[in-house]
Structure 1
Amino acid sequence: MGLWSWFSGLFKDDGTLKLDVCVGEIAAEVYYKELAVQACVNLIANAVSRSEFLTYEKGQKKRGENYYLFNVEPNQNKSSSKFWRDVIHKLVYENECLVIQQDGKFYVADEFTSLKYAFKENIYKDIVIEGYQLSNTYLESQVFHFELHDEKIKTVVEGLYQSYGKLIAASQNYYKKNNAKRGTLKIPTSYPQTEQAQNDLTDLLSARFKKFFEATGGAVLPLTNGLEYDEIGSKTNSKTEGGSKEIRGFIDDIFDFVAIAFQVPPQLLKGNVADTDKAVNNFLTFCINPLAELLADEINRKLYGKKSYLENTYLKIDTTRIKSVDISDVAGPLEILLRIGSYSIDDCLEALGMEPLNTEWSRARWMTKNYERAETRAKGGGENGNA
C-alpha cells in the first residue's frame, strides 16, 4: 500500500498524470561565467607570453643571462611561455603572484603567507612550489611580488554572476519546458490492482516513458490494459525561438561584463571579426601595456635596482610583437622612419621579427637630402644661404 499511496499522489483528481513531475530537475549552476573568465585569462596570458623582454646595459641592448631567463627558460622545468602564463593566471585569479629566485632560476609560488609592514620590508614565508614547501623566509627585496588591484576582479565577477546565473538558469528552464513533450495518461477504473499490474505501471512511468521522450528518431510506446496517452501540443516556434534568443542575450551580457572587468574588448573575447584592428589596439593600450609596465617596474626595482636603472641598465617589455602585421601594411611607415633617421636598417628588420645584420652600415642612421633646418627655410635660403 505504500507504493500505491506514493503513486496515487502523482495524479490529479481527474485521473491524469502531470508528466513534468517525472522530468529530472534542471541544474541551477551554469558555467558561462567561468568560460568567460578563462577566455580572458588565456587571452591576456597568451599576449604577455608573446612579448619580448628586452634587457639593456648602459643604454645598449644586450642578450645576456637575464634575457635568456625571461625569454627562453626561467627554470629547468618551464619554458618562458608556460612560466608567464602561470604568472598571469595567478595574478588575475588571485590578484597577486609571488616569484622567487633560487640558484639563478625563477619559480612561481603556488602558496605563501605574507607579513605586511609599514616602515620595513614585508616578509614572505610558508612558500609552496609544485607541492614542495620551502623552509626559508624571504624579504620583499628578494622576491617579485606582482599585485594587480586592491580588490580581486574575480570576486566582483562572482557577485555579479550570482544574479545573472539565476536569470540564465530560469531562461533555460523556461526554454526546456516549452520544448518538452507533455501529455496525459488515462488510466481506466478497471485497471488491475494486482502487484504485477502496479509494477508494470511503475515501469511504464519511470522507464519506458523516459526512453520514449528521449528518443531522437521515431519511437513507439506500447500501451496495454486500456491505458491511453494523449500528447498536449507544445508552444509555438516563435516563443521557443524567443526563449533561445533570451538565453543567448544573457550569455552575451556575461561575456561583456567579464570583458569590461578585465579591460578586454568584448568582440575579441567572443571572436567577432568586425573592427578587429581597432579592438586589438585598444586591448594592447588599456590591458596589456599597463600589465607589462607593472611587471617591468617590479623587475627593475628588485633585480636591477636604483643605481643600475639610472645608468640605463634595465628591462623593458616590448609588446609590439603581439599584434601580427602584414609586411605590406608596415612597409610605408618603416620607409618613413628609415629616411628621417629614426630607424636604422637593423631596427626595421627587428620590427619585422627578423634578425638584425649587426654590421656597421646596417646600424647607421640614414636621412634623405630633402630635409634641412627649419630656421634656414624660414630665412628663405638653402643650407648654404642660397634660395
Structure 2
Amino acid sequence: MGWLGDVLKRNSELEWLFDLDLVDETTHRSYLKKMALETCINFIGRTISQSDFRIMKNNTRQRNDWDYLLNVRPNTDQSAADFWQKFIYTLIDENEVLVILTDNNDLLIADSFTRDEYAVYPDVFRDVTVKDYTFQRTFRMDEVLYITYNNEKLTKFMDGMFKDYGDLFSRMLEVSLRKNQIRGTVGIDSTQALDDKSQTKLQNFIDKLFTSFRKNSIALVPKLKGFEYNEVSKGEDNGQSLEELSKLKRSLIDDVANILGIPNALIHGELAEYDTSIKAYVRFCIGPIIKKIQNELNAKLLEKQEYLNGHRIEVFGLTEKDLIEQAEAVDKLVASGAFTRNEVRVLFGKERSDNAGLDEFVITKNYQSASATKGGENE
C-alpha cells in the first residue's frame, strides 16, 4: 500500500476505518443464536417450572418423598423451579434429557452420557456425567427418567438459518456504522518543512482532535495557522438502520418461536391478542411437553398394577383454567347436573374435598323437565 500504509500505521483509528470500508469480512454473530434460543426456551422453562406434581391415590394426594423431590428440592443444589427450568432447557436444546436418582435420593440432570440401545432389553446409559463427576456405574432405562423432544437437535437443525441471519446482521450493522461515521480532512501548509519530530507532534495533535470530536458532544479546538480541519460528513440519520436491525432480531426470535409452537404475540408481550395466544400456547406448546413428562413419571415411578388401580402422577400448572374467570361456567356445570362439585374442583386443578356432599349431583329447578314443574293455570 506504500505511503497510504505508512499513514494508516500512524493512526490506528484510520486503519480500522479503512479495513471496515474495504475488507469483506463478516462475523457469525453467535450472540444472535444465543439470544433467540434463550428467549424462547427459557419462556417455556419458566412456564413448566410453575407446575405442581401430585401423586394421587384413590383421588387423594400423597405426601411422600417423591412429592418433596418433584415439588420442593430435587437435589442438594437446586430448588424444584430451577431443576425443572434446566430440565426443559436441556430437553429442547439437546433434544433429550436424562435424569438419574443417586444413592442419596437426589434427582440429577445429566450433562452428558452414552446410550447403548437394545432391541429386546432395556437400553443402558453409561459414562453419565453431572458437572465434573462421571458415574462409574451404568443405568438401565427403567431406572431413569429419559425424554426426547423431537427428531433432531434444535441447535443443529437451525445452524444454517442462524448462519444466514448472522451474515445479514453483520452486513446491516456495518452499513449502519458507516452511515453514522464522522469523516473529515486535515490540511496543512505544504511550504512548512516536516521532520520526524514535527510529524510526530502533528500526528499527536490530529489524534487528540479526532478523540475530542468522537467522545464529546461539544468539542472546542484551537485554530492554528497553516492547519485546517474540514468535516465532510457528519453522519446520516441511522434511525431506519437501527429499526431494520431490531426487525431482523425480532424475525429471528419469531422463527424460533414458531418452531417451538410459541405464538409470536405472546413472546413479545403483545396484550392485544393475549387470550387467543395463551390458549394456543397451552394447547400446542405446553400441553404436549406436560404430557411427555407425566407419561414418563407414571411409567417409571409407578408399578403397572398401581396404575391400573387408579394411582396417578398428575401435573398441574398453566394448563389449568382460571377459576375466577370461569366462575359462570363452573356454576353451569354444577347446576346442570353434568358434574359434581368435586369433579369440577379436579377440572380446575384443585384437590378433592373430603365433604361427601360435594360428590352428589345437584340440579337447579330451571333444568327440570316441563312436566315436573307446577304453577300458573295448573295450580
Question: TM-score, length-normalised on structure 1?
Answer: 0.83
CA displacement at 1:316 relative to structure 2: 2.0
Cα pair distance change 1:200/1:343, threshold 3 Å: farther
Q: Does 1:164 align with 2:162?
A: no
* Superimposed CA distance per residue, residues 323-342 of structure 1 (whole angstroms, 9 cap, x where no aligned partner): 7x482x22211212222345
Q: Paired residue for 2:281?
A: 283
Q: Please, which moves more after superposition, 103-112 or 363-372?
A: 363-372
Q: Paired residue for 2:119?
A: 118
Gaps of 5+ in 2: none
Q: Paired residue for 2:311?
A: 313
From 335, 338, 353, the counterpart of 1:339: 335
Q: 1:167 and 1:46 mapped to 2: Cα distance?
A: 31
Q: Does 1:371 align with 2:367?
A: yes
CA displacement at 1:7 relative to structure 2: 2.8
Q: Paired residue for 1:14?
A: none
Q: 1:383 and 1:258 mapped to 2: Cα distance?
A: 60
Identity of aligned residues (%): 25
- Two-structure CA RMSD over aligned residues (Å): 3.4
Cα pair distance change 1:173/1:23, threshold 3 Å: closer
Q: 1:106 and 1:86 mapped to 2: Cα distance?
A: 12
CA displacement at 1:355 relative to structure 2: 7.3
Q: Paired residue for 1:7?
A: 6
Q: 2:309 and 2:232 mapped to 1: Cα distance?
A: 82
Q: How does 1:18-33 map to 2 (within 5 A)?
A: 20-21=17-18, 28-30=27-29, 31-33=31-33
CA displacement at 1:368 relative to structure 2: 2.3
Indicate the SS of the match to 1:299.
helix
Q: Paired residue for 2:228?
A: 228
CA displacement at 1:278 relative to structure 2: 0.9
Q: Contact 1:124–1:138 (CA<8 Å) still a contact in 2?
A: yes
Q: Please, which moves more after superposition, 89-98 or 121-130?
A: 121-130
Q: Paired residue for 2:250?
A: 252
Gaps of 5+ in 1: 12-16
* Superimposed CA distance per residue, residues 95-148 of structure 1 (whole angstroms, 9 cap, x where no aligned partner): 111001224332211221111223322111111223222111011111111111
Q: Paired residue for 2:70?
A: 70
Question: TM-score, length-normalised on structure 2?
Answer: 0.84
Q: Contact 2:189–2:226 (CA<8 Å) still a contact in 1?
A: yes
Indicate the SS of the match to 1:214.
helix
Indicate the SS of the match to 1:367.
coil
Q: 2:198 and 2:20 mapped to 1: Cα distance?
A: 23
Q: 1:76 and 1:364 mapped to 2: Cα distance?
A: 45
CA displacement at 1:48 relative to structure 2: 0.7
Q: Contact 1:52–1:321 (CA<8 Å) still a contact in 2?
A: no
Q: Paired residue for 1:269?
A: 267
